[in-house]
Amino acid sequence: MAGMRSQAMHFQARAGQKLADEVLQGALRRAQPLFTAKRQKGMVSLAADGLDFGHLRAAAAAIRQAVLDDLDVWLELFEARAKARGAEVLWARDGAEVSQLVVDLARRHAVRTVTKSKSMLSEEAALNAALLAAGVRPVETDLGEYIVQLADEPPSHIIAPAVHKTIAQVDALFADAHGRPRQTRHSSDIPALAREAREILRPQFLAADMGISGANFLVAETGSAVLVTNEGNGRLVTTLPRLHVVITGIEKVVPTLEDVATLLRLLPRSATGQDISNYVSLLTGTKSADESDGPDQTVFILVDNGRAGLLGSEFEPMLRCIRCGACMNHCPVYFSLGGHAYGWVYPGPMGSVLTPLLTGLDQALDLPWASTGCNQCGEVCPVDIPLPALMRGLRERQQHQQLRPRGERWARRVWGWLALRPRLYRWLTRGLVRYLHWLADGQGRIRIFGLVPGWTAGRDLPVGPGRSFHELYAARKRD
């Protein structure tokens, strides 16, 4: 699989670096309560509209599941309807094919500059690198994406790509890129920084030959792409250049506009707490003779990149995902590390499921384990994806494929063997509790525990009285 190279195998090592990065930790500490408060506000407004989250998410999950049940049918309908409106529809098996198709289009249409609205699929494909190699300059126009492009980093969050950056870091990036002195900035300066980016980006919007966007949904009945944005850059990218390329995953199709309306009640509320995003664009076909705006040509690139292989499997529910980011916004692991620790395109719980499924189980061994199983993610998911259960399922696959370290397998085997032999277990645990008690200090706590050093690296281990419950209970019954 070509495309963005996964660093997911280095999760453990990266986790340590991220925990030690005080600047990052500060940014994450500030961001999390904002994210959760926003969704909370969205849920309050949902209730104020007389809508029940549980019912609505059951409806949304059903819409997404119905699509997956007959994905080929809906994709063929979408293709026919999009073509009828003058669009071209291309199919890409993987990230490398996406890049090839876009580079070919750029050559065919003599494209020198590309403006991009947010597209996670283009991250999967590592498209920017491919465009640069072909002599085409890609300009990210989503403010967060613009920031991470200047920093030469991948996004760290699917809806807030630069959430890991502080204002001071952004000012330094802007100062260097825009050729001005650095300044001391405060949160009240954010509008000024946004204005600065806007002034730089405006001529790029006007000069671009090709605009690339993702799509939040593809509508089968109309052949349209639905774009949910807040900054207005999406409209400039999709309507100003003569060529508009939509790159999105094959699972993003939904049957009708009615279905989009249902999903839109949940998507912005789950993501940013808004009742509706600042812009919802419905992009259908090319500019017709009597229209003044819009591209001369629209190309859809519909990408598989491992998705079709999940159909019919226990992991199919993952394809219901509508990329709201609520799971990571409520994840204690994500907010301890930030998105870059996860090593590929998608972070947080949805990334911990999707990355091994799309890039290979053996390419992301840690990710299915990077969860406390708290299910804060599953509880907020607007399409009811059982994320902890899917992570557990991936662990089971790792066991089947013998991808776990031998020591870990043996430890569990020995423990299991004993736990299935209660008399022997009881006899050995008598020794264990005495040993623990002997190790403990005067306050009944172990400071350094050689058997499980990970526990006592950051915590004491409070231990019992040196007798197990069952031992004490048996003694009491004898008395």
Partner 1 sequence: MRIALYVTCLVDLMRPAIGFASLRLLALTGAEVVVPPGQTCCGQPAWSEGDRPLAAALARQAVGQLLNYDVIVVPSGSCAEHIVHTYPQLLSDEAGWRDAAQQVAGRTRELASFLAEALPPGPLPGHFAGTVTYHDSCKGLRGLGIKQAPRDLLLRVNGLNLQEMADCEACCGFGGSFSVRFAEVSTRIVDRKCAAVAASACGAVVGGDLGCLLNIEGRLRRRGDETTRVLHLAEVLAGGSGD
Minimum CB–partner distance for residue 92 and partner 1 (Å): 33
Contact flag: residue 470 with partner 1 (CB under 8 A):
yes
- Please check whether residue 217 is in contact with residue 321, taking contact to mean a CB–CB distance below 8 angstroms: no
Q: Which of 374, 386, 434, 439 binds partner 1 (CB under 8 A)?
A: 374
In the chain, the largest separation of any two C-alpha atoms, in whole Å, equals: 97
Contact flag: residue 258 with partner 1 (CB under 8 A):
no
> Which residue stretch of 56-64, 81-89, 202-210, 426-434 sits at the interface with partner 1 (rule: CB under 8 A)?
426-434
Contact flag: residue 40 with partner 1 (CB under 8 A):
no
Tell me the sheet residues that pair with 462: 445
Site for partner 1 in 225-244 (CB under 8 A): none
Q: How far is CA 48 from the centre of its chain?
A: 29
Minimum CB–partner distance for residue 469 and partner 1 (Å): 4
At residue 454, what are phi and psi to the nearest 5 degrees?
Answer: -60, -40
| 210 to 12, 280, 299: CA distances (angstroms) | 40, 21, 11
As given in the structure block, the two tokens for residue 161 are: 């790509």
End-to-end CA, the chain: 69
- Whole-angstrom distance, CA of residue 345 vs CA of residue 125: 10
> Which residue stretch of 70-78, 246-254, 265-273, 408-416 sits at the interface with partner 1 (rule: CB under 8 A)?
408-416
Contact flag: residue 372 with partner 1 (CB under 8 A):
yes
Pair type for strands 113-116 and 137-140: parallel
Q: Which of 203, 396, 438, 448 binds partner 1 (CB under 8 A)?
A: 396
Contact flag: residue 13 with partner 1 (CB under 8 A):
no
What does the per-residue mask of binding to partner 1 show for 335-354, with x meaning CB under 8 A?
Answer: -xx-----------------
Q: Which segments of 21-166 does DSSP mark as H helices, in order?
A: 22-48, 53-69, 71-84, 95-108, 120-124, 127-133, 143-150
Contact flag: residue 433 with partner 1 (CB under 8 A):
yes
Closest CA to 339 of 1, 32, 40: 32
Q: Which of 230, 429, 434, 439 binds partner 1 (CB under 8 A)?
A: 429
As given in the structure block, the two tokens for residue 378 are: 């599953």
Minimum CB–partner distance for residue 61 and partner 1 (Å): 18
Amino acid at 61: A
Contact flag: residue 452 with partner 1 (CB under 8 A):
yes
Q: How many residues does the chain have?
A: 479
- Whole-angstrom distance, CA of residue 169 vs CA of residue 173: 6
Closest CA to 92 of 253, 311, 246, 301: 301
Minimum CB–partner distance for residue 458 and partner 1 (Å): 3
Amino acid at 306: G
Q: How far is CA 278 from the centre of its chain?
A: 22
Contact flag: residue 462 with partner 1 (CB under 8 A):
yes
Q: Which residue number, 191 or 458, has a Cβ lying nearer to partner 1?
A: 458
Contacts of 310 (CB under 8 A, 6+ apart): 316, 318, 319, 357
Q: Which of 50, 457, 478, 479 binds partner 1 (CB under 8 A)?
A: 457
Q: How far is CA 198 from the centre of its chain?
A: 26
Contact flag: residue 472 with partner 1 (CB under 8 A):
yes
Contact flag: residue 437 with partner 1 (CB under 8 A):
no
Contact flag: residue 427 with partner 1 (CB under 8 A):
no
Q: Which of 373, 414, 438, 448 binds partner 1 (CB under 8 A)?
A: 373
Q: Which of 410, 427, 438, 473 binds partner 1 (CB under 8 A)?
A: 473
Query: Residues binding partner 1: what is the number (CB under 8 A)?
Result: 60
Minimum CB–partner distance for residue 378 and partner 1 (Å): 8
| 212 to 18, 111, 115, 271: CA distances (angstroms) | 32, 12, 6, 22
Contact flag: residue 37 with partner 1 (CB under 8 A):
no
Contact flag: residue 16 with partner 1 (CB under 8 A):
yes
Q: Which residue number, 198 or 395, has a Cβ lying nearer to partner 1?
A: 395
Contacts with partner 1 by CB under 8 A lie at 12, 15-16, 19, 332-333, 336-337, 369-376, 378-379, 392-399, 412-413, 416, 418-420, 422, 425, 429, 432-433, 436, 443, 445, 452, 454-465, 467-470, 472-473, 476
